[in-house]
Amino acid sequence: MLIIYVQFKSLLSLFTILLCAIYHFLTLFPSYRGIINIASNGNVLPGSDVGPVPLVLDPSLQLLSRRQRRLIRQNPGILQSITRGLLSAIRECKWQFRNRRWNCPTGPGNQVFGKIINRGCRETAFVFAITSAGVTHSVARSCSEGSIESCSCDYRRRGPGGPDWHWGGCSDNIDFGRFIGKEFVDSSERGRDLKYMVNLHNNQAGRMTVMTEMRQECKCHGMSGSCSLRTCWMRLPPFRAVGDALKDRFDGASKVTYSNNGSNRGNSRSDLPHLEPENPSHAMPSSRDLVYFEKSPNFCSPSEKTGTPGTTGRICNSTSLGLDGCELLCCGRGYRSRAEKVTERCHCTFHWCCHVTCLNCTTTQIVHECL
């Protein structure tokens, strides 16, 4: 009896924590109620890259938009999926930027992405896009895995697809992922200023990237594996592929300005507020391009404005001429070197069947650290 009570109670309180977390921060950011602010204000603590640790418990239960509240109620499992999406976005961001001055720092403490989300530079664009992509990806996958009660595989593709294959099996539910992504990641209000429109554009770029990176997977049928007939379905890309694609877009991001004067392009689209390349000779950014409006700082020293710690103490590569090289990473301040013992598994042998035994080898490596 007691055990049942405790389990029920802890489930209930986990759910309450998640709800409160979201409610709390939506009210803190009335003009931008996107998931990124939720992620950046102490609700989901990535710790040292381990599982979700929802933290904030606000005693006064405040409310999401009516629509978001209804979505949570109608789609049990969705908050857990959104949380997983945020965590994979954080991990991916750190991986993609591990060799750069800005290495997607999170923390200290409960700040997930920190103040960079209030800026308008390329790094901000990436953070918004990868977060949006993470939520979309996670929800689309949760649907086909059956962990959200209200959605399932995308079964809309049916029938023959080509001479020797037909649609079948379980396609990941990208439409549902995009729908939820939009409801929770974008604000529920219409934006008017440049920053707002840029953020929404980058959120959309994240979702579009997940969708366009989807790939077809097939299974062979037919006599003794002849593969004369195949069944195919659409599968989400590994999240790494999304990260890679968005990193490319980061490198080629467009600097944009806000235009609502309606006369410069002579079509009806220009009558609406929209984004334009700052340099008129550049092409309009596509829906998958990342956009920004502010030059990035150099991230060399600690900055209060961007909440970034600078590169002192970072490990650099003394032989690389690239961004991870000591010259660039340490911003010319120089570095100190020290010897570090590293223990690795080595001389591994495979035993039939089936295990591997290894020895421990300890080597000394020289580690360079920015001053």
User: Smallest distance, Å, CB 52 to ligand NAG?
Assistant: 28
User: Smallest distance, Å, CB 96 to ligand NAG?
Assistant: 16
- Residues in contact with ligand NAG, counted by CB under 6 A, come to a total of 10
Q: What amino acid occupies position 45?
A: L
Contact present, 42 and 1 (Cβ < 8 Å): no
Hey, which residues between 64 and 123 contact ligand NAG (CB under 6 A)?
none
**Rounded to an integer, what distance in angstroms lies between the CA atom of residue 270 and that of residue 251?**
27
Burial environment of residue 188 by CB neighbours within 10 A (0 to 12, 13 to 18, 19 or more): middle
User: Smallest distance, Å, CB 260 to ligand NAG?
Assistant: 8
User: Smallest distance, Å, CB 99 to ligand NAG?
Assistant: 8
User: Smallest distance, Å, CB 317 to ligand NAG?
Assistant: 4
263 part of the interface to ligand NAG, by CB under 6 A: yes
User: Smallest distance, Å, CB 82 to ligand NAG?
Assistant: 35
Among 264, 279, 287, 298, binds ligand NAG (CB under 6 A): 264
Segment interacting with ligand NAG, rule: CB under 6 A, options 152-160, 175-183, 204-212, 253-261: 253-261
Nearer to ligand NAG, 287 or 357 (CB): 357
Nearer to ligand NAG, 242 or 275 (CB): 275
Among 10, 13, 212, 261, binds ligand NAG (CB under 6 A): 261
Binding flags for ligand NAG, 312-331, as an x/- string (CB under 6 A):
-----x-xx-----------
Nearer to ligand NAG, 212 or 357 (CB): 357
Number of residues assigned to the chain = 371
Give the per-residue SS3 of the chain. CHHHHHHHHHHHHHHHHHHHHHHHHHHHCCCCCCHHHHHCCCCECCCCCCCCCECCCCCCCCCCCHHHHHHHHHCCCHHHHHHHHHHHHHHHHHHHCCCCCCCCCCCCCCCCCHHHHHCCCHHHHHHHHHHHHHHHHHHHHHHHHCCCCCCCCECCCCCEEECCEEECCCECCHHHHHHHHHHHHCCCCCCCCHHHHHHHHHHHHHHHHHHHCCEEEEEEECHHHCCCEEEEEEECCCHHHHHHHHHHHHHCCEEEEEECCCCCCCCHHHHCCEEEECCCCCCCCCCCCCEECCCCCCCCCCECCCCECCCCCCEEECCCCCCCEHHHHCCCCCEEEEEEEEEEEEEEEEECCCEEEEEEEEEEEEEEEEC
Binding flags for ligand NAG, 19-58, as an x/- string (CB under 6 A):
----------------------------------------
User: Smallest distance, Å, CB 94 to ligand NAG?
Assistant: 16
Nearer to ligand NAG, 16 or 320 (CB): 320
Nearer to ligand NAG, 212 or 261 (CB): 261
**Rounded to an integer, what distance in angstroms lies between the CA atom of residue 117 and that of residue 188?**
18
User: Smallest distance, Å, CB 313 to ligand NAG?
Assistant: 17
Among 62, 152, 216, 259, binds ligand NAG (CB under 6 A): 259
270 part of the interface to ligand NAG, by CB under 6 A: no
Segment interacting with ligand NAG, rule: CB under 6 A, options 4-12, 194-202, 210-218, 257-265: 257-265
Among 60, 224, 267, 360, binds ligand NAG (CB under 6 A): 360
- Site for ligand NAG, rule CB under 6 A: 257, 259, 261, 263-264, 317, 319-320, 359-360
